[in-house]
Amino acid sequence: MIILTTSTASQLLSVIPRTYTSIPFKMSIRDDSTNITVTYIIAAATTVGNYLQFNQAFNPVLVKNHFYDIHLYTETASGYKQDIFKDRIFCTDQDVNQLNESSHYKLNEGQYIHYNGFNNTYTVR
Categorize the per-residue pLDDT at 121 as very low, low, confident or very high, splitting at 50, 70 and 90. low
Q: Which residues contact 84 (CB under 8 A, 6 or more apart)?
A: 17, 18, 19, 21, 25, 52, 72, 73, 74
Q: Percent of the chain having pLDDT more than 70?
A: 77
Q: Is the pLDDT of residue 100 over 60?
A: no
DSSP state of 101: G
Supply the pLDDT for residue 114. 66
Does position 29 have pLDDT exceeding 70, yes or no? yes
Asked, as a colleague might, if the bond just before 17 is cis with ω within 30 of 0, I would say no
Phi, psi angle pair for 57, to nearest 5°: -100, 135
Could you tell me where the beta strands, DSSP code E, fall in 2-116?
A: 2-4, 11-15, 25-31, 37-42, 46-48, 51-56, 67-75, 81-91
What percent helix, strand, coil does the chain show, rounded to 5? 0, 40, 60
CATH of the domain spanning 12-96? 2.60.40
pLDDT-derived band of residue 99, with 50, 70 and 90 as boundaries?
low
Per-domain residue ranges of the chain: 12-96
